[in-house]
Amino acid sequence: MNLGVLAPELIVFITAIVVILLDLAIKRKGILAAVSIAGLLVAILFSAALWGTRGVVFNRMLVIDEFAIFFKVLFAAAAILVILASTDYVSKFQRFQGEYYGLILLSVVGMTLMAATAELISIYISLELASISLYVLAAFLKDEKSSEAGLKYLLLGAIASAVLLYGMALIFGLTGSTHLTDIAAAVRTHGASPVLLLGIIFMVAGFGFKIASVPFQMWVPDVYEGAPTPVTAYLSVASKAAGFAVIVRVFWHGFGPAVAGWLALDWGLLFAVLSAVSMTVGNLAALSQTNIKRMLGYSSIAQAGYIMVGLAAIGFGPATDPYARSGVLFFLASYTLTNLGAFIAIIAITKETGSDLIEDFAGAARRAPWLALGLAFCLISLTGIPPTAGFLAKFYIFNAGVSNNLAWLVLIGVINSVIAAYYYLRVVKMVYLGAPKSERPIPSSGPLRLAMSLACLGVLFIGIIPAYVLKAAVDAINLFTR
């Protein structure tokens, strides 16, 4: 067994241990962020070097392929931006910076393993590694709201994990294996049964919690509001992307069109219904929000609905069509940069104003022009207006829906995009046209401005020159057709 193929995960894990130990020995805590970022950058380099490598390790539990590598880079990049944006915010928990950075790194390890798992037990273990780290991070401020957020996330997450595990147990009992390839072979040979369909429904429910889709979204508003803002930013993108990565691999390899066409149509229709409901409920609930973190929480539910258009298209599409699957990956990459860019600006503005209320963002453009521009640009991207990454992401995934006989779902998505424009652009209006309550400039550190710049440049780059990310997404997904 060549452990070199697991170098990215091992590097991030070792970095987490080093950061925690360094915290005990040094007084300049800023070094911890630098070490964390250095470890993540090295992991990205090793991941890039593995592009084109394919293999299996640990008795086929983990696979090494372009799909897993795509997400390894995505998770590490998201963590780098969050750590850069946290350099000012960590003063709120000065004594626990080592634990904060260490937990972020450990969650990255769990998420990268989630994207590389091809076996049900390893899926569950890697999911819990990521989830436990996030439960603790949500409660990291230790005040009333943060503790409530952590407790709700933990309790509801435990229920979702139990439901997921029960679904996995049903599938194992029917197929006699926990390996996705063996499960697919058993389904081809013996066909599906009502109990298998029940197991799939339970798995959809468990994964639905991770991607924050309706009706499994009840944790989102309170957790997003109560968690530290950098953690909210990280939750909104990394946890969602990890959930979708597992869903694509499990449902394509285990129950995809090449395994049983009618079964794929069944779960494709299930995701289509969840998509329509998630888009509608998320956007309508966001309209009335006065707290920007809760608003973006409901927005993330709607965004999960848009991404599920791609999942539904996978179920309805032919086994040889990679565009729906690559559309999911392209959307996740675009959404990660866009949502992080918006939250990075929010971190700086709310730290100065001491409030998450949208009305307190009034006139922010006069107090912090660069932050206001970045926030407005990312909100425009979330709306889906060119020339941003968000526009191309929606265009690409909606095109996959239309191509696979889901025009009705795409129409619902377009209508919901119009609804979403109201509450996104309402914030932009408040930032630029509202009267500021103070003329005092909003300070921001160099690392935070760097993170903001990288996120916005990424959104603009993908919006204007999408070919590189599109090619990476198509290459990552093409292996499923071979």
**Pair 233, 85: CB distance under 8 Å:** yes
Report how far apart, in Å, the C-alpha atoms of 291 and of each of 72, 212, 337, 471 are: 32, 19, 22, 38
> Using 50, 70 and 90 to split pLDDT, how confident is the model at 482?
very low
Q: Give, in order, the Cα–Cα distances in Å from 320 to each of 228, 257, 478.
A: 43, 9, 9
pLDDT at 481 over 70: no
Closest CA to 304 of 287, 285, 280, 324: 280
d(CA 26, CA 250): 44
Q: Which residues pair with 291 in a beta bridge?
A: 357
Q: What is the pLDDT of residue 17?
A: 92
Q: Which of 231, 206, 209, 205 is nearest to 220 (CA)?
A: 209
Q: How many CB atoms lie within 10 A of CB 408?
A: 12
Q: Mind giving me the DSSP string for 264-319?
A: HHHHHHHHHHHHHHHHHHHHHHHHT--BHHHHHHHHHHHHHHHHHHHHHHHHHS-T
Q: How many CB atoms lie within 10 A of CB 440?
A: 10
Range with lowest mean pLDDT among 320-334, 380-394, 395-409: 320-334
Cα distance between residue 411 and residue 393, in whole Å: 16
Mean pLDDT of 286-301: 90
Tokens of 227: 């968690």
Angstrom distance (rounded) from CA 27 to CA 152: 34
- 207-230 pLDDT, tens digit per residue, is 988 888 888 888 888 888 888 889
What is the DSSP code (8-state) at residue 191?
Answer: -
| 34 contact partners, CB below 8 Å, separation of at least 6 | none
Give the model's pLDDT for residue 363: 82
Q: In this prediction, what percent of the chain has a pLDDT beyond 90? A: 29
Which string of b and e fits 154-171 if b means at least 16 CB within 10 Å? bebbeebbebbbbbbebb
User: CA angle, corner 342, sides to 339 and 348, nearest 5?
Assistant: 135
Backbone angles phi, psi at 119, to 5 degrees: -150, 140
Q: How confident is the model at residue 420 (pLDDT cuts 50, 70, 90)?
A: very high
pLDDT tens for residues 87-118?
A: 888 877 777 888 889 999 999 999 999 888 88
Place of tokens 């229709």: 269
Element (H, E) at 62: strand 62-64
Cα separation of 405 and 437, whole Å? 51
pTM of the prediction? 0.91
Residue-wise burial string across 290-315, b where 16 or more C-beta atoms lie within 10 A, e elsewhere = eebbbbbbbbbbbbbbbbbbbbbbbb
What average pLDDT does the chain have?
A: 86
pLDDT of 415 over the 70 cut = yes
Q: 286: phi > 0 → left, psi -120 to 50 → alpha, else beta; which?
A: alpha
Does residue 258 surpass a pLDDT of 80?
A: no
**What is the per-residue pLDDT across 358-370, written as a single tens digit (0 to 9) for each?**
888 888 888 888 8
